[in-house]
């Protein structure tokens, strides 16, 4: 997360239950029009050493979420993948399921399929992908590849994938996932993804709360959600409809992140929801569960409605 997140703590209004803290928080007031709310537990924590400024800096500079996905490239693991494609009436029209082992040797990862089954219409001839959703799943999680030994940064590591059209799409998808709030290089909507900038911030309510994730992990939860007046189904002024991130209070690693991204325009439409959960496996911190539910209608391809889930297990 880079410079655009400097606008994260842009405007704080305190609810009636915590008005006593207003004076001590005035330094964070801005003129962008966003609403940033703290619950009583977070305000109480601030009295005993919780520093809002430090928290915001942590949000801006977090790399744990990206690194958890990056670590998949260098880790032996087993995973299960389930993908279903639907028609406009919600009827299943195709499916793909697999279970695989990934083994890493040096800078290269090899894929061994333990199980694989799919509908007759899932692939075209010679196993070419019929569905763009399936192609993305394959490129991101089921393809053998070798890392460059000369790569010294995230940009260098990803450079090879930018040469193809699919690679460029993957790069922008990664930006939305790993750097929410940044501009994405997507026609007509790029500026609308920068939710912390002055133009977009007034559409959102921002908050930090304290929650126990799945009854086990004590977390701070950062949330950005559309204000009620902007929540109409096909409202095109925004792209990020919902963003929620759980930070482990012990080390501020990202435990989970949930998204809702949608846009309805003249050239293309999409409506995508994702839930991602990260987990420690020994010394490795990996995305253990990924759920995707999305609709795409983009130029040059038939509209697609798809759902997939990925479970990562047994890394060693």
**For 145-158, how does the pLDDT look when each residue is reduced to its tens digit (9 = 90+)?**
887 654 433 444 44
Question: Average of pLDDT values for 85-94?
Answer: 94
Confidence of residue 136 (pLDDT cuts 50, 70, 90): confident
H helices present in the chain, as ranges:
22-25, 40-47, 52-61, 64-71, 132-141, 154-158, 165-178
Interval 1-26 mean pLDDT: 30
- CA 246 to each of CA 2, 45, 163, 251: distance values in angstroms, whole numbers, following the listed order: 19, 17, 34, 12
Q: Does residue 114 register a pLDDT over 90?
A: yes
pLDDT given for residue 197 in this prediction: 75
Say if residue 23's pLDDT is above 60. Answer: no
Mean pLDDT, all residues of the chain: 75
Residue 56: the pLDDT is 59
pLDDT at site 153: 39
Residue 27 class from Cβ within 10 Å (0-12 exposed, 13-18 middle, 19+ buried)?
exposed
Please state whether the predicted TM-score (pTM) of the whole model is above 0.75. yes
Query: Average pLDDT in the 111-115 region?
Result: 94
In angstroms, the CA 190 to CA 137 distance is: 23
């Amino acid at each position: 997360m880079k410079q655009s997140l400097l606008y994260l703590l842009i405007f704080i209004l305190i609810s009636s239950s915590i008005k006593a803290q207003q004076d001590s928080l005035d330094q964070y007031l801005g003129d962008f029009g966003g609403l940033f709310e703290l619950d009583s537990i977070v305000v109480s924590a601030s009295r005993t050493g919780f520093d809002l400024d430090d928290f915001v800096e942590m949000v801006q500079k977090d790399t744990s979420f990206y690194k958890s996905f990056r670590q998949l490239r260098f880790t032996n693991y087993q995973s299960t993948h389930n993908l279903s494609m639907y028609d406009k009436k919600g009827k299943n029209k195709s499916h793909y399921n697999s279970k695989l082992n990934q083994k890493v040797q040096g800078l290269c990862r090899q894929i061994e399929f333990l199980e694989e089954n799919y509908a007759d219409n899932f692939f075209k001839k010679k196993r070419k992908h019929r569905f763009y959703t399936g192609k993305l799943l394959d490129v991101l999680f089921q393809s053998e590849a070798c890392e460059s030994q000369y790569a010294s940064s995230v940009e260098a590591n990803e450079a090879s994938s930018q040469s193809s059209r699919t690679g460029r799409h993957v790069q922008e998808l990664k930006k939305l996932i790993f750097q929410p709030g940044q501009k994405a290089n997507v026609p007509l909507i790029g500026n609308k993804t920068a939710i912390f900038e002055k133009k977009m911030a007034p559409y959102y309510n921002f908050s930090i709360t304290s929650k126990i994730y799945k009854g086990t992990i004590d977390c701070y939860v950062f949330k950005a959600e559309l204000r009620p007046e902007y929540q109409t189904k096909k409202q095109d002024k925004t792209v990020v409809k919902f963003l929620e991130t759980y930070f482990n209070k012990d080390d501020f690693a990202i435990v989970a992140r949930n998204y809702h991204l949608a846009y309805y325009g003249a050239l293309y439409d999409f409506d995508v929801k994702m839930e991602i959960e990260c987990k420690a496996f020994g010394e490795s911190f990996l995305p253990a569960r990924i759920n995707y539910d999305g609709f795409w209608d983009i130029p040059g391809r038939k509209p697609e409605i798809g759902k997939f889930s990925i479970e990562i297990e047994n890394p060693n």
